[in-house]
Structure 1
Amino acid sequence: MFNLITKSDSNVKNDVLSGITVALALVPEAVAFAFVAGVDPMIGLYAAFMMGLITSAIGGRPGMISGATGATAVVMVALVAQYGVQYLFAAVILAGLIQILFGVFKLGKFIRLVPYPVMLGFVNGLAIVIFLAQMGQFKVFDTLGIAHWMTGSQMYVMLGLVLLTMSIIHFLPKLTTAVPSSLVAILAVTFAVHGLDLEARTVIDFVRDMLPEAEKATATLAGELPSFNIPMIPFTLETLYIILPTAVIIALIGLIESLLTLTLIDELTNTRGRSNKECVGQGVANTVTGFFGGMGGCAMIGQSMININSGGRGRLSGITAAVVLLAFILFFAQWIEMIPLAALVGVMFMVVLGTFEWASFKILRGANKEDAFVLLLVTGVTVAADLAIAVIVGVIVSALVFAWKHASNIFARTHIDEENWKVYELEGPLFFGSVGNFKELFDLENDPQDVVIEFKNSRIWDSSGIDAIDGLADKYEAIGKKLHIRHISPECRELLVKAQKYVEMNINEDPRYHVVADKLA
């Protein structure tokens, strides 16, 4: 419905112009997330610069933008409030080291286990979160610091500028793709506001709203180069106990959000990122950021979508965004402070339209109610709680739904062979979910003296299946009947305890597969 993704390949011009667009959109986001974490705005801006530069240079997904994010910022609040910002820097360094280990041990590949409905729910929930986050820009603060919705001409001007921004982004590519439409929209709206002297809130107004009254007059986004500092904390086990829980959560949330964003960009661009390399890239970026006074972060899906939509495909786009952001901080802060918030809100609204997976409505109308439930669940949890929690919940629920659906897929065909033995030819997987149905397949009292369980068309998946076979063998032995087990893997034979002596080995026909069990761990 809304095909906002530019299909052009990477080139220098597209990457540079797209990077400038992203840099403009990074400023208010980084400032906002710094306030969420309870730290100085410069700490958020430094994180956006260093995270973006390092992950773009060495990460596993060209074109993806990283920086300070809300998902990681909310985790930092308690640590900063209780122990101070130096402990935050130490936690970010430790989180980076954990992420590097994830990449070194190639754990990034597990992102492939995220089911499609969970991915759709994540994307849709994130689009809603981005949309709701922009609603705060339609509020103003009174002298008591209380937020109120805009009214009258101020609201009309805001809405008009947002619609103008969205219109330029939508229609300009139909005329020319020489420059990113988002960049043109931001510049056009900025010139319109200041040229016509319109009443519109700017980036510096947003910063002032976040500061105490005494600091509003001197508020600025101008800064200096970040400097290397070792966190000023005691290097003791007690300090490790303090920062470790926060570091682990930052690392996991950062990787989940980054790898899901990587997967989304892969789908949009028909390319393939490297998840383990991205884990290392995110880890190195967080580690360096912690030493240079940044709050850390992860991939930013909103800014990544702006980049992809503007034609940014290569590493140069992210590097340009980071370098231009630093240039803004050092030399051009007064220009960035003049940008109307309405222009950035309009850009983000177009990101929402491009991010939301409108095709998911087909799933909701389809016959597969389980997928529809998972999609809605993940979307709801993403909006109400957190992206990482939503994905974890979605994966768990999807696994349970899968197990429930396959639990009833085990059955047996029975016949009496020429030796008057009863043969149970199993069909379907034997695992923890199907053990109950497996046990009900057998008629122990009425079975003949010799019983065969044929696993040629079945497979044992876990130790629950092994224990079920052992239990069945024990019952047949108790009533004096002889059991024969055919066509199970050598590993299954090794794991069996009571039924091992009943297995008939056939080296040429027995299958070879592994079983998930603790006994061989």
Structure 2
Amino acid sequence: MFDLITKQQGNVKNDVLSGITVALALVPEAVAFAFVAGVEPMVGLYAAFMMGLITSAIGGRPGMISGATGAMAVVMVALVAQHGIAYLFAAVILAGLLQISAGIFKLGKFIRLVPYPVMLGFVNGLAIVIFLAQMGQFKMLGEDGTMEWMQGEMMYIMLGLVALTMAIIYILPKLTTAVPASLAAIITVTLLVHGLDLEARTVIDFVRDMLPVEQQASATLAGELPTFAIPMVPFTWETLMIILPTAVILALVGLIESLLTLTLIDEMTDTRGRGNRECVGQGVANTVNGFFGGMGGCAMIGQSMININSGGRGRLSGITAAIVLLAFILFAAPLIEMIPLAALVGVMFVVVIGTFEWASFRIIRGVNKEDAFVLFLVTAVTVIADLAVAVVVGVIVSALVFAWKHATHIIARTHTDRDGWKVYELEGPLFFGSVTHFKDLFDPKNDPEDVVIDFNESRIWDSSGIDALDGLADKYEQNGKKLHIRHISPECRSLLVKANKYVEMNVNEDPRYKVATDKLG
């Protein structure tokens, strides 16, 4: 997939055009995610505008798009249902403050340590959760005031329109990419429903179901600018205890998904985002959301991919997307009322299919049983509990397994070359768990004057490994020996202090990989 991504730098034209494309695709998804959270569509649109604008301006990853997301929405729904939307806004503010704290204390680096099986379980669990959340759209308000499953013709029309939406999204890109397929599907299904006067529930029907009976007739989605307001909740210890669990989960889910997306874009564009700065950017955006009536959010994997594929590389692409989205909110909100729920469900089903990592079924047959167990564990915990808990559990289990299996797996094959230099050919990971064993492999006092450390079959994974190599270089220098270090990442080379002068560069052979460290965060 990465080979299809061009590596060109961003420019004004590409960023603006890409931003417009992203804005068009954001509209239906922002509304759909608002449904998932159980709030009005405009709350989702406000969130998409504010998240996109602020994170693009001050976040740590140019080209990444943020907005209202399903991962955050599924966490919000219980709080909204039990305590109301004001408590949600308060929880979003607190979540934002927690995310800012994570950036200040430089916790963004730890996303580099999330194992691949955990990432697979994360995206698979996210897909399943979003799918289950869509089931509520197949219900409607019954005569007794409770939500009931659709019946008869209405259900058949709903299923047919969902299938039509998905078909358009899959087929249209094969014909043209001038218009985002999801937007084209929304427009087509909307025109079909109103042109044929089909019995299909629309966005305004959903909004009316959420309101008291006396307010349903006058329900509307008039577009206006978001306004500042302090959430109307009691400023008490009891309120804090109500919103704190949700705020913590929102903060963790938002940072995990944002930093995972940041890492993915890093790989696609061969650049490096700043994880700690992104934590602060996400936190500021969520805090502003809580005060201006937005549901909050985080980075959006799908929209970020659209932006990168469309040529968006700079901050201007995300800023453009946010401003164009605001124009939709101000001038086209009445049109949103006409959108059939079936079209939004179809869009979300396509998101589910695209998010789920189907290749994981094939991967399971080729990996060891520990990785397969972690993949299933993270997926299951995601569905049963939430994304943040699942990823934390997966990382802990993976770390325990890895540390146990690999703490002593770093080895060195030694030989003397034709110049009389002693060569240490390392194999295995150099990280906090293997540092002690790494140091025991060398004999600075008795080694010859020229010593080579070859990392061709090894990797330095964290700051502990960097410090260990610096310390080893210092020991050889104290013994009057000349050290030669080969085949380490340019990023590792930039982090070394005492050992940097001993590194022999080879542009063609030196590997490229990232290191979990605060210095580049």
Q: TM-score, normalised on structure 1?
A: 0.70
Percent pairwise identity: 69
Matching residue of 1:191: 191
Alignment of 1:23 onto 2:24: no
- Provide the C-alpha distance between the structure 1 equivalents of 2:295 and 2:370, rounded to a whole number of angstroms: 39
1:320–1:187: structure 2 CA closer, same or farther, 3 Å change rule? farther
2:509 maps to none
8 Å CA contact 2:75–2:246 kept in 1: the answer is: no
- The 1:17/1:264 distance shift into structure 2, 3 A limit, reads same
Q: How big is the shift at 1:219? A: 2.2
| Equivalenced residues, count | 441
- Encode CA deviations 1:386-419: one digit per residue, 9 max, x unaligned: 111111011001011112323675999xxxxxxx
Deviation at 1:117, TM superposition (A): 0.7
CA contact (8 A) 2:57 2:319 kept: yes
Distance 1:331 1:126, change over 3 A: same
Shift of 1:310: 7.8
In structure 2, relative to structure 1, the CA distance for the partners of 1:76 and 1:126 (3 Å cut) is closer
Deviation at 1:218, TM superposition (A): 2.3
C-alpha contact (below 8 Å) 1:55/1:66 kept by paired residues: no
Partner of residue 157, structure 1: 157
Q: Which runs of 5+ in 2 are unaligned?
A: 9-13, 413-426, 445-467, 484-497, 500-521
Distance change >3 Å, CA 399–CA 138, structure 1 → 2: same
Q: Cα distance, 1:223 vs. partner?
A: 4.8
Partner of 1:64: 65
Separation (CA, whole Å) in 1 of partners of 2:353 and 2:210? 28
1: CA distance between counterparts of 2:305 and 2:26?
A: 9
Alpha-carbon distance between aligned partners in 2 of 1:7 and 1:138, rounded to the nearest angstrom: 41
- 1:176-206, Cα deviation, whole Å (9 max, x unpaired): 2222122211111111111111121111122
Q: Residues 348-376 of structure 1, C-alpha deviation per residue, up to 9 Å, x if partnerless?
A: 22222222212212221124111111111
How many Å separate the matches in 2 of 1:489 and 1:310?
A: 42
* Structure 1 residues 151 and 15: alpha-carbon distance in aligned structure 2, compared to 1, 3 A threshold: same
Deviation at 1:245, TM superposition (A): 6.1
How far apart in 1 are the matches of 2:309 and 2:156?
28
Provide the C-alpha distance between the structure 1 equivalents of 2:85 and 2:354, rounded to a whole number of angstroms. Answer: 36
Is the 1:18–1:312 Cα contact (8 Å) retained in structure 2?
Answer: no
Aligned mates of 1:104, 1:432 — CA distance in 2: 23
Aligned residue number for residue 442 of structure 1: none
Equivalent position of 2:52 in the other structure: 52
CA 1:8–1:141: 2 relative to 1, 3 Å: farther
Alignment match, 1:107: 107
Moved more, 280-289 or 390-399: 280-289
Give 1:100-499 correspondences, 5 Å limit. Answer: 100-230=100-230, 247-266=247-266, 272-301=272-301, 304=304, 315=315, 318-406=318-406
User: Which runs of 5 or more residues in structure 1 are unaligned?
Assistant: 413-426, 439-452, 458-487, 493-504, 514-521
The code of the aligned residue for 1:67 comes to A
Q: Secondary structure of 2:177's match?
A: coil
Whether contact under 8 Å (2:222, 2:333) holds in the other structure is yes
**Deviations 1:312-363 (CA, angstroms, capped at 9, x unpaired):** 7665554455445444444333210101112122222222222221221222
CA distance in 2, matches of 1:308, 1:162: 28
One-letter code aligned to 2:122: F
Q: CA deviation at 1:227?
A: 2.2
Higher mean C-alpha displacement, 374-383 vs 139-148: 139-148
* Cα 1:253–1:72 shift into 2, 3 Å: farther
Q: Which amino acid aligns with 2:358?
A: W
Secondary structure of the 2:226 match is coil
For residues 237 and 337 of structure 1, do their structure 2 counterparts lie closer, same or farther at Cα, with a shift above 3 Å needed?
closer
Task: Call closer, same or farther: CA 1:315–1:134 in 2, change over 3 Å.
Answer: farther
Which one-letter code corresponds to 2:32 in the other structure?
A: P
Deviation track 1:52-105 (CA, whole Å, cap 9, x = no partner) reads: 3222333224242322655367368559967x8666545543432332333344
Alpha-carbon distance in structure 1 between the residues aligned to 2:307 and 2:410: 49
Letter paired with 2:54: I
CA offset at residue 508 of structure 1?
5.5
Q: Is the 8 A contact 1:103 1:280 kept in 2?
A: yes
CA distance in 2, matches of 1:334, 1:225: 15
Q: CA RMSD in A?
A: 4.5
Equivalent in the alignment of 1:477: none
* 2:140 aligned counterpart, secondary structure: strand
Q: Which residue of 2 aligns with 1:498?
A: none
CA positional deviation for 1:212? 3.3
Q: 2-side partners of 1:105 and 1:118: how far apart?
A: 24
Write the distance in 1 (CA, Å) between the matches of 2:219 and 2:124.
36
User: How far apart are the structure 2 equivalents of 1:86 and 1:228?
Assistant: 13
2:452 — aligned with what? none
After the TM superposition, which of the residue ranges 97-106 and 5-14 deviates more from structure 2?
5-14
- Check whether the contact 1:103–1:277 (CA below 8 A) recurs between aligned residues: yes
Q: Distance in 2 between matches of 1:244 and 1:392?
A: 18
Helix, strand or coil at the partner of 2:17:
helix
Q: What's 2:423 paired with?
A: none
Cα distance change of structure 1 residues 342 and 316 upon mapping to structure 2, 3 Å threshold: farther
Please say if residues 15 and 312 of structure 1, whose CA atoms lie closer than 8 Å, have aligned partners that are also in contact: yes
